[in-house]
Amino acid sequence: MRSRSRTICLSLAFVTVSLYLLLALVSLSIHHQPCDPSRWPQTHILRELAHTNSTSAGTSGPTYITHGGDSSLKDDSKEAKDSVRALSDALSSVKRGKNASVNTTADHTESVESGLSKLEALFDHPLYNMPGPPVHEDDWLLRVKSKVKASEKSSQMWVSASREAYEDAHWNGNVDRHPPWLRFHLGISRRQLYPHRDPNMELLTQQLATHRIVSAVQKPGGTQLKLVMSFPNYGQAMFKPMKQERDEETNYNLYYFSDFERHNAEIAAFHLDRILGYRRVPPVVGRLVDVVKEIKDITTDHKLARTFFTSPVGNVCFYGQCSYYCSTEHAVCARPTNLEASLAVMLPDLSLAARRSWRSPWRRSYSRSKLANWESQPSYCSTVKKTVPYNEGTTLVDFIDMVILDFLMSNMDRHHYETFEKFGNHTFLLHLDNGRAFGRHSKDEPSILAPLEQCCRIRRSTWLRLRLLSLPQYRLSDVMRASLSQDPLHSVAPLLSEPHLAALNRRLETVLETVSRCQERHSGDRGADEVIYDDTAYLKDLVISAG
């Protein structure tokens, strides 16, 4: 009995000592852990910003300009220098760890709790407010004559054949009298369709959503039904109707080129493009349209008018004329007369601003059996890099920007893209025709990312913004939900379902992982310089000139 008691006591003592040692090890590990584990990603991005002394390539310019002299350019230069000084000071403070305004503190977390607060914080971030390169006279798409001869004054006045439908417009050098759509046209530059924080955007979207429609005709060409709507102030918008429910996924057995276009995809693409900092999709707004009063009764398109009919349940339907899906079997039907649609502001007329169409190097074969060259040649990008216009300038990284947008919204139908002819090969790519996006949330399409995977090239500003959107306080799904909530159709139903929003976060991680693999693959002599294209080098010159 004495021996057994001694054994039990020794065992208990051993267990007690072991527990004390285990508790000591746990306490030691906790002591060495950071108090805020979420701070590292934020600090990592800000360190990258401080290293480059630069962020976005976006132009922080006026909404539009009359190009009447050099004084405005000087003012913009002074404003840019002031912004660079402020940013340089802020980044220096961050590098020293003293910038509390951009750290993940409790106050900052509270300021971005709601989606709208996150969106506002995102657009206030230095990555979205960097001064762009100087905007010269030739960098504007359109110009307004500063002085008009007496013999030319008649050209400044638009008079409609139907005074009841259109307003008499006397437009001259007084920019305050220009309607929102004209201000948008005059604000298009070599680098973007509209500037960040454009004050004209609210007026423009309000016009698209509320102004009276005075004309509706079918736009020729294309594979599916779309109309051109006109407003009393001569503004025009591209109309795409609702064809299926928002939460209805594309059938797995349906090829991408046989898919329906979606009105909510056009709207969501505009918002996503703006959140990514591109500003290359024309503004799009959702609207409830009365198909009888605002299309059938006012259209002068007799072919379109003949396609209206009433369904067996009393809904007014029409189908127009087009290559595909324009038949009674694929008619667009209202409920009973109200129809959801997207309205995208029209770009300047081709007679004023010609555009060039480019065939995408990674265009799909549009065949059910044949593969495209890029699908069978892993080194395909090396050939593209030797081809005009991808052999110089920023066209390749511009294309990669578009690829990332398409992957995030799962758009496989990017066979062509357009640029403004005036700017040649030194300009951004227009992100038009996004109706086949957001068709499937349950499956990602990795082949869309083939250009990024094969070329391993991405803009620094794009890469930094993507990393920013992966952080909890700027999460892509949250800011996207908040941005879409400002569209008029949100009152009917959310424009993107929660599974689609969740898919955005998942796909964003895939993009960042792809870039990381590229950096590992090119970790030789030049390392990241081979992958990350520094589009912000001009800021160093601004810092020097600012003193």
Q: Is 261 annotated as a binding residue?
A: yes
440 domain-assigned: yes
- Global confidence as pTM: 0.80
Q: Is 216 annotated as a binding residue?
A: no
Q: Measured between alpha carbons, how far is 470 from 464 in angstroms, rounded to an integer?
A: 10
Residue 18 host element (H or E) = helix 2-32
240 assigned ligand-binding residue: yes
498, part of any domain = yes
Q: Is 42 annotated as a binding residue?
A: no
Is 478 an active-site residue?
no
Query: Which of the following is catalytic: 406, 413, 478, 535?
Result: 413
Give the Cα separation of 284 and 268 in Å (integer): 9
The number of folded domains in the chain is 1
Give a yes or no: residue 495 inside a domain.
yes
Reply yes or no on whether the pLDDT at 374 is more than 70.
yes
Residue 509 is predicted with a pLDDT of: 98
Asked which of 155-159, 255-259, 354-358 is least confident by mean pLDDT, the reply is 155-159
Whether residue 483 lies inside any domain: the answer is yes
SS3 524: coil
Model confidence over 155-173: pLDDT tens digits? 444 444 455 678 776 666 6
> Side chain identity at 399, as an amino acid letter?
F
Classify residue 521: in a domain, yes or no.
yes
Residue 346 labeled ligand binder: yes
pLDDT at 224: 86
| Residue 437 known to bind ligand | no
* Most confident of the ranges 15-19, 67-71, 248-252: 248-252
Asked if the structure places residue 22 within a domain, the reply is no
Task: Please report which confidence band the pLDDT of residue 382 belongs to, taking 50, 70 and 90 as the band edges.
Answer: very high
Q: Do residues 200 and 184 touch, judged by C-beta distance below 8 A?
A: yes
Residue 184 clears pLDDT 50, i.e. is over it: yes
User: 150 a known binding residue?
Assistant: no
Where are the alpha helices (H) located in 377-417, listed in sequence order?
A: 380-384, 395-408
Q: Do you find a cis peptide bond into 41, omega within 30 degrees of 0?
A: no
Cβ proximity of 236 and 430 under 8 Å: no
Q: Which structural domain range is residue 467 located in?
A: 355-545
Q: Is residue 409 part of a domain?
A: yes
> Is residue 334 one of the residues assigned to a domain?
no
